[in-house]
Amino acid sequence: MRIAELESRTGLGRHALRFYEREGLLTGVRRGANNYRDYPESAVRDATLLQQLQSLGFSLKEIGEVLAAMRAKSIDCAQGALLMAQKRAAVDAQIAQLRQVSKVLAREQQRLQERAAQHLQSKTPTPASASGPGPGSNRPR
């Protein structure tokens, strides 16, 4: 199939498809006499899986390993489940780390808001000076 059909069937753009091909994630691509790319039917499955795994946080290297194992038929459901459990543990660790960062940011935000409020209070004019220059003043308004 031509790249336009693969784009249509996967929702991926041609630049992304070419990139994935260069990275070895889409394989079996042949060139016709006209030098156009001819993608195999398996490219639809691979590109769709690639998108799903990428949206789950898998790196391109990890995706390449999964696709290679699938092509070699050396991955089964138990191994797939283990892979998902490992990725989930990594995501959970990342979430915990981000929660810690969020707490630090919240404390710093609170500290800065308090300092800003104190600074604003010290700059608040007294009622006598708040009225500005008197009627005969030469200072511009």
What residues does 37 pair with on adjacent strands?
31
Inter-residue contact 2 to 36 (CB < 8 Å): yes
Domain covering 1-75, topology? Multidrug-efflux Transporter Regulator; Chain: A; Domain 2 (1.10.1660)
User: Average pLDDT of 36-60?
Assistant: 93
Domain limits of the chain?
1-75, 76-122
Residue 42 has pLDDT above 80, yes or no: yes
Q: For the range 71-75, what are the long-range contacts, defined as Cβ-Cβ under 8 Å and sequence gap of 24 or more? A: 71/27
Q: Is 134's pLDDT higher than 80?
A: no
Residue 30 phi/psi, 5-degree rounding, is -115, 160
**Four-CA torsion 75, 76, 79, 85, nearest 10 degrees:** 120
Q: Tell me the per-residue pLDDT of 103-128, one tens digit each, with 9 for 90 and over.
A: 999 999 999 999 999 988 888 776 66
The pLDDT tens digits for 1-20 are 999 999 999 999 999 999 99
Q: Give the separation between CA 44 and CA 62, rounded to whole angstroms.
A: 19
The pTM for the full model equals: 0.63
Q: What pLDDT score was predicted for residue 100?
A: 98
Q: Which residues of 76-86 are buried (b: 16+ CB within 10 A; e: fewer)?
A: eeeeeeebeee
How many Å is the Cα radius of gyration of the chain? 30
